[in-house]
Amino acid sequence: MTTTEKSRYYDLTEHSAVRDDLRFAVTCVAKHGVVIDCGCGAGADIAYLRAQGFTVHAFDIEPEAIARCQTRFSHDPQVHLSQASFSSFAYPQADLIVADASLFFCPVAEFDRVWERLTGALLPDGLFCGSFVGPEDTMASEHYSRDAYWPEVLVLDERQIKHKLLGFDILRWQEHRVSGETANGEPHHWHIFSMVARKSN
């Protein structure tokens, strides 16, 4: 994805609607304490989470995403921003971790360790709200142009994801299959698993 395409994507998503899964997770979390927003983009979820009273620790690997969020939340001391990858981010203890459309891009070889660190940061009864790419998604195809968008995509099937969620109570689980266009106008078939899960004591 070119710099211009990334900028257009951030322009289109900066004020995007909050997903039902995140709204649901917020109603289920024991206390509105600390949340980690993984792959925060232009900050739409940060704005919602701050309105709900959370302290937000957010990171993104893209410099433009963090620069936009630094400008947007410059006067809010309860928003802590880091330009970091899943592997390099220093995870604080959290009541809620949000990883929507971001773990897709965690390098496959790093995922097990990242998942260990990410789930280890959740406090007892903490919630994970996230999504994963399924094997029927356009991004999972051998014909998908990784040079044009992203060099490696993490793809997991239902069995693999639920194995990772051992030790969690799954509060919401959805499998999405839909065809359409991306924010940048490219045709795409989505196969996405989304979930909200509570860490067991």
End-to-end CA distance of the chain: 41
* CA–CA distances in Å: residue 93 to residues 25, 41, 117, 123, 136: 17, 22, 10, 6, 34
User: pLDDT tens across 28-55, in order?
Assistant: 998 899 999 999 988 999 999 999 999 9
Which CATH number does the domain housing residue 34 bear?
3.40.50.150
Give me the residue label for tokens 């094997």: 135
CA distance linking residue 158 with residue 78, whole number of Å: 36
CB 89 within 8 A of CB 82: yes
Give the model's confidence band at 11: pLDDT under 50 very low, under 70 low, under 90 confident, else very high. Answer: very low
User: pLDDT tens across 148-162, in order?
Assistant: 556 688 999 999 999
Domain coverage including residue 125: 3-199
The model scores a pTM over 0.85: yes
DSSP secondary structure, 14-31, as one string: TTPPPPHHHHHHHHH-S-
pLDDT cut 90: percent of the chain above it: 74
Phi and psi at 90, nearest 5°, equal -90, 100
User: pLDDT tens across 61-77, in order?
Assistant: 999 999 999 999 999 99
* Bridge partners, residue 59, by sequence: 38, 82
Give the model's confidence band at 185: pLDDT under 50 very low, under 70 low, under 90 confident, else very high. Answer: confident
Give the model's confidence band at 183: pLDDT under 50 very low, under 70 low, under 90 confident, else very high. Answer: low
Q: Which amino acid, residue 68?
A: R
* Bridge partners, residue 128, by sequence: 97, 197
How many CB atoms lie under 10 A from the CB of residue 54?
25
Q: Which amino acid, residue 143?
A: H
DSSP state of 155: B
Domain tally, the chain: 1
